[in-house]
Amino acid sequence: MKTPNKVKYRKVQKGSLRGISKGAQFVDFGDFGMQSIERGRITAQQIEACRVAINRHFGRKGKVWIRIFPDKPVSKKPAETRMGKGKGAPDHWVAQIKPGRILFEVGGDITKEDAQQALVKAAAKLPLKTRFVTRLEQV
């Protein structure tokens, strides 16, 4: 699973997820991609589950680019703990996703149908709605 090697602050506030994605709105590396339609959080475990699903579908052919990184810690207090006593310890890492963000890209020696099947399998692992995009559609 992906986690940052080093962070400036151990705990961060929730923040907001308004607006649309500023970067990574186009397929830049591969031929096909998965673009988010909704906003939300994706955990490091969900990103890894998508990566495994795509690689299992392709076997040894094709290449995968992961365009998101879980760089925000989410804290959690232990179960059955009374209120107060400060913020809990960091529990897991999430990537904040805004609409329009390209999440995964695939390319190499694969067909459009093969890429679409792989990305549909990966999208089933995510809590957000996504759509299939190609490099040719965005020009």
pLDDT single digits (tens) 103-138 = 999 999 999 999 999 999 999 999 999 999 998 776
Question: Which has the closest alpha carbon to 128: 93, 104, 97, 106?
Answer: 97
In a domain, 106, yes or no: yes
Order of all β-strands in the sheet with 89-97: 40-43, 89-97, 72-76
Domain residues for 100? 32-77+86-134
91 inside domain: yes
Domain-embedded: residue 26: no
* CATH number of the domain within which 42 lies: 3.90.1170.10
Specify the number of domains making up the chain.
1
Residue 139: pLDDT band with limits 50, 70, 90: low
pLDDT tens digits, 30-85: 999 999 999 999 999 999 999 999 999 999 899 999 999 999 999 999 999 999 99
State the Cα–Cα distance between residues 116 and 124, nearest whole angstrom: 12
- pTM equals 0.91
Give the 3-state secondary structure of the chain: CCCCCCCCCCCCCCCCCCCCCCCCCCCCCCCEEEEECCCEEEEHHHHHHHHHHHHHHHCCCCEEEECCCCCEEEEECCCCCCCCCCCCEEEEEEEEECCCCEEEEEECCCCHHHHHHHHHHHHCCCCCCEEEEECCCCC
Amino acid at 23: G
